Structure 1
């Protein structure tokens, strides 16, 4: 079974060009027949030029839209919602399309981050029969006000994380965005580190705001000090999305002088309902080990392909750090158009290439087993 790679969907894809949907489709990396970013979820950018509209449609129980840039409105069978920078809204099963219209935006067009669970429906071979929650809107002002309130609360010890968990009234037990989707608007203060943690859900992380030298380290194992062994470093680029594989330890680092913000989207609503999320924080695990205890786990990394990550160089905004692996990203490149018949003066054709950050293991030869 193909592992889930560390890949990046860069913001350059939605910062220019025509009105269009820009899918973060890596189904070929995962050996899955239908479009997906993870086995259960599909993530895309939606670019809408000022004064234009575009329709989106998915066979999904849950759809979430976060406004990266711009103001406008979305109309559907559920009604019309107006949105602006930093707003987020979710809709349940929708028979028809959602129509998104941009009123104003920098860079010539609005950008939405769109996530839904159609890949899960495709895998099960089903179509949702009824809605599990009502359309819900989270304004930027409300979310930031909640974070500000938390920042003034008295807590023990040093705080290195300020965030608001986005919950839905229909999900009282899981306390998640929908019964499938989970999200947290998370801030990391300047000059701080969020120590490693891990969970079984795949994270599709949107870097909302970050200065240079803000990044995430990811790896399969931790050492006796709780540091990630042989980590992959993924730098945050505002408006870009990166994948955090399931079960991997990951820590967030802000070496800049400004607060950084990230919006992870996960299928953790489903995992929480199944009691299989198994989220762990490194310092808790170290304390257990010191006490001679080892927790039971609902997950173990057994796929050998995870253990054979290759050294690779990617286009990232900051200098390489010695001893850390880099990720490949989604790259827009110019290639000769086959229809140009070798004419050097002909305009180049722009294409987007994606390359996984792992190499496939050679096929194992069959061997006989002595009785």
Structure 2
């Protein structure tokens, strides 16, 4: 992904041992001393216990309301919370930037994300087309309508989005996400297309959801009823791009989807919801699998909310209609790194009751791990006791105040 440094062809990188100065000469050389001092200026050495889990700005639960794209002039409406995260460049999460595009009927708007490896566009409302240029500079145009999604790889060209008609609010609305903040953080610029431009039509997406529902017949029992949007170039990770991940998830009427959690930040677009649909989220779950002291985020069609990494969250639909949500995450990258660690509450409770707390949900996931425990599989344990029942020594663990039950927990 990073550009290769090209050295001059005549540069001789070998040193002649006979002409190499002695260690003493190098040490006493003033220019070398100056270089040592310059290179040492940014060096920092931290005590491990206090710095291993640094105190960073937490990712907040925030809302980007639909009202922003339902009225006003044609414009880009960024969901920029970089000030909340103490990050210099605009972002919605450390790795991603999300925005609304409002395009009045008959208008066009240009978008450009030169430093992004991946861009995703989901059509919230309206009909239109997008014009851009391919790698050879040749113009290409696609048409889109409500519910369509298209992804675009790194490009130096602008993309021109035009609205031809809209059923409401006088214009189209598009949810636009890209991974420019990740590249900004790395100080890198993409120069290789990792995938080709990809279009997902609403009819194809909904058709696949319906096929799954009819084939299984257990819609109300599934923790997630929806489809992951993948790409032929991401066959291993099954993700939208090598960085982005997206799911179109439906919650049946008068039902709830039990809590789950993952390490990626979710930027959730509420595609469709009637009053009475909401998400509960929090840092902890109790012994019944309920979220402790949850934050409630009510869904409104066309709005986006942030789900912090590692937080347990559950979806609830107390209305009489199916609700739909489209989370977009940087989970393509996490999945590739084997660090997504997605967990579902009932699997974790079952493991806990069996006396097991796993370190990672990668590879041996969910039911597969639970079934292994049930048939007698064991994992290495760490206990303050000197020996276990078989007489083998166990690793002693130093207890910190973080491990102690708080007064609130003891009530």
Can you list the C-alpha shifts for 1:169-228, whole angstroms capped at 9, x where unaligned?
A: 000110000000000010000011100000000000000000001000000000000000
Q: How does 1:145-294 map to 2 (within 5 A)?
A: 145-154=207-216, 158-159=221-222, 161-294=224-357
1:96 shift after superposition: 1.0
Partner of 1:344 in structure 2? none
1:159 shift after superposition: 3.3
Scaled by the length of structure 2, the TM-score of the pair is: 0.72
> Relative to structure 1, is the Cα distance of residues 36 and 220 closer, same or farther in structure 2, using a 3 angstrom cutoff?
same
Q: In structure 2, which of residues 158, 162, 165 is the aligned counterpart of residue 97 of structure 1?
A: 158
Partner of 1:83 in structure 2? 144
- Whether 1:74 aligns to 2:130 is yes
Q: Name the CA distance, whole Å, in 2 between partners of 1:237 and 1:47.
A: 17
Q: Name the CA distance, whole Å, in 2 between partners of 1:73 and 1:254.
A: 34
Q: Name the CA distance, whole Å, in 2 between partners of 1:220 and 1:270.
A: 23
Q: Name the CA distance, whole Å, in 1 between partners of 2:301 and 2:216.
A: 31
Higher-Rg structure is 2
* Gapped regions of structure 2 (runs ≥ 5): 1-55, 135-139, 363-401, 403-411
Where is the helix percentage greater, Structure 1 or Structure 2?
A: 2
Greater relative contact order (Cα < 8 A, sep 6+): 1
Q: In structure 1, which of residues 32, 50, 54 is the aligned counterpart of residue 87 of structure 2?
A: 32
Q: In structure 2, which of residues 56, 60, 65 is the aligned counterpart of residue 5 of structure 1?
A: 60
Q: Name the CA distance, whole Å, in 1 between partners of 2:71 and 2:177.
A: 21
What secondary structure does 1:91 align onto?
A: strand
Q: Name the CA distance, whole Å, in 2 between partners of 1:239 and 1:115.
A: 15
What secondary structure does 1:204 align onto?
A: strand
Where is the strand percentage greater, Structure 1 or Structure 2?
A: 1
- Whether 1:123 aligns to 2:178 is no
What secondary structure does 2:233 align onto?
A: coil
Question: Greater shift after overlay, 171-180 or 157-166?
Answer: 157-166
1:154 shift after superposition: 2.8
Scaled by the length of structure 1, the TM-score of the pair is: 0.79
Q: Name the CA distance, whole Å, in 1 between partners of 2:85 and 2:241.
A: 25
Matched-pair contact (CA < 8 Å) for 1:42–1:118:
yes
Q: Name the CA distance, whole Å, in 2 between partners of 1:154 and 1:118.
A: 39
> Relative to structure 1, is the Cα distance of residues 123 and 9 closer, same or farther in structure 2, using a 3 angstrom cutoff?
same
Q: How does 1:23-62 map to 2 (within 5 A)?
A: 23-58=78-113, 59-62=115-118
Matched-pair contact (CA < 8 Å) for 1:160–1:188:
no
What secondary structure does 1:55 align onto?
A: strand
Q: Name the CA distance, whole Å, in 2 between partners of 1:298 and 1:129.
A: 33
What secondary structure does 1:218 align onto?
A: strand
Deviating above 4 A after TM superposition, structure 1's stretches of 4 or more consecutive aligned residues are: none
Q: Name the CA distance, whole Å, in 2 between partners of 1:19 and 1:259.
A: 31
